[in-house]
Structure 1
Amino acid sequence: MTAPEGRGAVLLGIETSCDETGVGLVRVGADGPELLGQAVASSQDEHARFGGVVPEIASRAHLEAMVPTVRAAFARAGLEPRDVDAIAVTAGPGLAGALLVGVAAAKAYAAAWDVPLFGVNHLAGHVAADTLEHGPLPTPALALLVSGGHTQLLRVDDLAGSITEIGTTIDDAAGEAYDKVARLLGLSYPGGPVIDRLAGDGDPAAIRFPRGLTGPQDPAYDFSFSGLKTAVARYIEQAERDGRVVDVPDVCASFQEAVVDVLTAKTVRAAVELGIGTVVVAGGVAANGRLRALAQQRCAAAGLTLRVPRPGLCTDNGAMIAAVGAAVLAAGGVPSGPALTGNPGLPVATVLVP
């Protein structure tokens, strides 16, 4: 596939792995992918009363939002369908029904516009989002991917097809822990933004919550947040038994400090031990203010270069999928076949789905 002379290829990215319908348009360039325009429709409010994402509701919301979101992205980019040279779509991991909506839509658009289709990995997309802001990613790089469903350390040798997991959570992801602690405190869903906001009024040293998997015999690069969530629950229960008022900002600040302390300490340790000089923090939790600040502090102290995309590129969006599609296209990746479908358990090592 060759773009018209005088410009790089334009990719349309479609993301429907969870509760955001994301559509983005990027142009492939020598200095990395250029974001031309994007739109995101979230069904988050529809899930709030359930305290988490309901797959059936998410799938229906994607169906309703797909066409309007595509039109909005084109309008913001000042482009038309005839300007698109290829389409990239999230093929996994994610919710089965939600993935199928996005893949079906992408197949339809690719057929109607007669352009190649690339089914790509959602997790690789989060890492690729950084290239929309900071340009090509030096390799190797170490990515801390931290979101509602994933907490992983990834060695990135090639965004188009060489990503290796070197650490992961053995239970709750960091984002899940935020949501569960928010529920314990009677706060709204999703828990991440509200806990981050309330933590600003609290003392992060008020309560010494445990740091999971940080003992000398524990896996160096793996994570665990289930015990931390349980410790918060026990603290609240004990305070109520003692007749004490729970200081919510202090609990939020102390819980958050425990999370980001472990995330940043293990990331820096991995980068130093593996001899990797560039660290990328990606995923929805990368929008967290305290995580960004502590990562910057610790990376600077260790002589590491830190790259974190702006908050609007951290959460699920179509631009990040177009960005990983751009990397695949530039590497000469073969378009996905007609049998492409969603894979809820797609491993991060599989960047391009045949």
Structure 2
Amino acid sequence: MTTVLPTRFAPAERAESDVLLKQASMFKGNPLVSLLDSVTDLIMILNSYRQIVYANRNLLHLLDMQDAREIIGMRPGELFSCEHAGCVPGGCGTSEFCRNCGAVKVIMCALGNGRTEDECRLTQRKGDAIYAYDLKVVGSPVFLEGERYVTFAITDMSHEKRRRALERIFFHDILNTAGGLRNLARMVLEEVPLKLKDETLLLHKFSSELVDEIMAQRVLLAAENEELSVDPQSLRPGEVLRTVCELYASHEVGEGRRISVEESLCDVAFISDPTLLKRVLANLVKNALEATPRGGEIRLGYSVGERELLFHVWNASVIPAESRSAIFQRSFSTKGVGRGLGTYSIKLLATNYLKGDVFFTTSETAGTRFTVRLPMNLAQLAAA
């Protein structure tokens, strides 16, 4: 027999204590328990009334408990002192606020035989104080001896959420500052006396490079967090290469080195994201310039296939054999500690966002040639 209570969302009824104890005993010595005890997430098993009948070792350790007897029969929101769990007689899942709770939605979906995951923002109340958490929750249906249960996993994402929020604030503020410095240098450049022209040009140059480096880091972080948007536009490969060439013609890394753009007879239109593509090619050009001694040359070019477009960047140096297999790995670099995001970001942007690929050939006789292979129409792939 169950107790009937009012609810604004999920059913409020609960199992009787003898049924709970029987259900909890089913998981003692169960092979599933050994598996759940070995993972680092917080995991509980809930019955069809959303009540806890098992908690894994990591969850018990967090609660400073030896076994789960103290929490058997509780619901997740009650266990973690959710501020809404105690505001109605039915408890966790039955208030009007629970309609927007990712945890309750996940549990209800799993009780309906669907595995799902969501985010849950929990406000915990302890005495007169409140604490906010951002959680990732996953629910999966489990059937045991004819009864339905839910494995409910919780991962605390609070630190990650705060880090991302701080990153957004940081990039917003520092770009405003660096952009203001660059704009000021541009204004001063128009009015400065001739004898200070060279110094002002350097100020404008370095401030522009600073803005570009900050933008590159922001794009990389957004790409890794899968927060980067793609804006396909109609482009001409020759124009793209000339823009990248002009960018590094006056760059410090290009001093004393020549950049040539190979002419092509097939300057067709293609569709891609101009900002991301130029960043990919610019990173390749920068790497090629850094690998080229003063007086040397790098070459840019492209070729057109039936359904693909290939950009290439060549320099005369050779990549050491021991470095070739790791060239696109994150944080790997031949330039020392603290480097290595350039080729990784090239691969990340080209593969995940431009829907293409990057590869290279290198030898003592032919030098090193990086190739970016792209679809002719990114918009079609994005739509598919």
Common fold by TM > 0.5: no
Calculate the TM-score normalised by the size of structure 2: 0.22
User: Computing the radius of gyration over CA atoms, which structure comes out larger, 1 or 2?
Assistant: 2
Task: Identify which of structures 1 and 2 has the higher relative contact order when contacts are C-alpha pairs closer than 8 Å and 6+ apart.
Answer: 1
Calculate the TM-score normalised by the size of structure 1: 0.23
Larger fraction in strand: 2
